[in-house]
Amino acid sequence: MKAKDRLLARGRSSIVVGTMALALVGSLDETRADSCRVETVQGGISFPVQHIPEDWACRLKLVIDHYTTANTLGPLKTAMDASMYFHLLDHPPLTAALINRLDLADYKADMRGPGRWWGNDGEGTEGMVQLVYQDRAIRVYYLEGTHRSRLLNVSGKAVVFLRMGTVKEPSGLEAMENTLVAYTMLDNRVLSGLASLLRPLVGATVIRKLRKGVDVVNRLGLEIRQRPERVLFEATDPPPLPDEDVAFLKHALGGKGLPSVGGHSGRSTP
């Protein structure tokens, strides 16, 4: 074979090998994408999961496919208009601080990065929460945390889908209607193996936590509606909340003034 013919043969072989390699890579990419594909319908509700980044979709799918418990809660109503609701939803430290100062629950939250925060409900449950996807009607969260109580001592992961919408109350006031779909997966293999025994206990705990969270936010909404002056007082009671949070509350609550210095803060004194 002449040198020119050998070069042409090598060129054709390289093209064939390159084409096969590209096809193989494409096939692997498609296989990986399929393995991380999250179903659109969760708990009977459609979510735009196609917009979730692939790396997060893989984490979500692991929990969803190997869940210990799966729960749907709602639709439940929250006595709060959309602008206030979305602001508090997107500012967990402010929400937790108001809930705490108004003696509604012992919640704590601290931002740890964009869309990421640490939370503690004051009743043995704490962990990291990551916002994975959001739009005007949807939030998708990925959580890693622990729960410590007399009956249950576990760590695990969770995925929460939240669908929101506005409704009108009989009074004409705007409120939010929310439905949550939550999956939890225990970390411990031994505990996961006992899922059939633990599922009722874990499921009851998850439902109780979700219901309490919704109830507490609803009670916060009622305080904001009925006693905005108390909310402002608590926000500025030393040590005051950050300036931007106080400014938002004053604007959102119609610029109502604070109570007089002798006003009652609503908090019990030791």
CATH of residue 149's domain is 3.30.530.20
Q: Is residue 154 assigned to a domain?
A: yes
Boundaries of domain holding 65: 46-252
Examine the pLDDT at 10 and tell me if it is beyond 70.
no
- 41 falls within a domain: no
pLDDT value of residue 263 = 38
Enumerate the β-bridge partners of residue 128.
118, 144
CB neighbour list of residue 254: distance below 8 Å, 6 or more residues apart: 228
Q: Are 64 and 37 in contact (CB under 8 A)?
A: no
Question: Percentage of the chain with pLDDT > 90?
Answer: 67
Largest Cα separation within the chain, whole Å, is 104
* Domain assignment of residue 10, yes or no: no
Between 13 and 138, residue with greater pLDDT: 138
pTM: 0.80
Number of domains the chain is built from? 1
Pairing of strands 116-120, 125-134: antiparallel
Give 50's DSSP letter: G
Give the separation between CA 37 and CA 18, rounded to whole angstroms.
Answer: 28
pLDDT class for 241, splitting at 50, 70, 90? very high
Residue 114 domain-assigned?
yes
More confident site: 21 or 156? 156
| pLDDT for residue 189 | 59
* Residue 137 DSSP class: S
> Do 60 and 181 contact (CB within 8 A), yes or no?
no
212 pLDDT exceeds 80? yes
190 falls within a domain: yes
Identify whether 146 is part of a domain.
yes
The pLDDT assigned to 206 comes to: 86
What is the predicted pLDDT for the residue at 153? 82
pLDDT in tens, 155-196: 999 999 999 999 999 999 999 999 999 999 988 655 555 555
Q: Identify whether 94 is part of a domain.
A: yes
Q: Does 188 map to a domain?
A: yes
